[in-house]
Amino acid sequence: RNLIAERYQSGEEYKIISKALDIPWNTVKTVIIKWRKYGTTETLPRAGHPSKIDEKTRRKLVREASKSPTAILKELQEFLASTDCVLHVTTISRILHMNGPFLTKKNIQARLKFAKTNIKSPKSTWENVLWSDETKVELFGHNSKRYVW
């Protein structure tokens, strides 16, 4: 990148620099624009606030959530506090959502198989299916809400 900037300062054009260094002319153009705007060809710091949780702690959180899928966010927050990592519950929720649903490959294959075998079933068949979002189960006390990952 510094070589590109030096050649540009000496008066060479984008295409000549591109051919001489065997780099696409668009890359040469991008480096020169960055050099003219910021006065450097070094990698600039990324935009935004740094993450509050490192990769190791994130994996630990996901592992804990998958071990106990009925744990509420407050419990996961307390678990993280025991590892000297203080996060808000919405941050924990966002991290878990970014890691996707905690389904095993066996579970995913079973769902796919069910969907493929019943894809051409008539509407009357689907009216007899009990959907998980229509079920009321009282496992954790009277009318309490718990979201299971």
Same domain, 101 and 70: yes
Range of the domain at 28: 2-38
39: tokens are 């006065």
Same domain, 66 and 33: no
Rounded Cα distance between 88 and 76, Å, is: 10
Same domain, 30 and 76: no
Same domain, 65 and 116: yes
In a domain, 97, yes or no: yes
Same domain, 80 and 113: yes
Same domain, 72 and 112: yes
- List the pLDDT tens digit at each of the 149 positions of the chain: 999 999 999 999 999 999 999 999 999 999 999 999 999 989 888 888 888 899 999 999 999 988 887 888 999 999 999 988 999 999 999 999 888 777 778 888 888 898 888 888 888 887 877 666 555 556 666 666 666 65
In a domain, 130, yes or no: no
Q: How many domains does the chain contain in total? A: 2
The angle formed by the CA atoms of residues 29, 34 and 37, to the nearest 5 degrees, is 125
Angle 2-9/25-38 helices, nearest 10 degrees? 80
Q: In terms of Cα–Cα distance, which of 6, 141, 9 is closest to 70?
A: 141
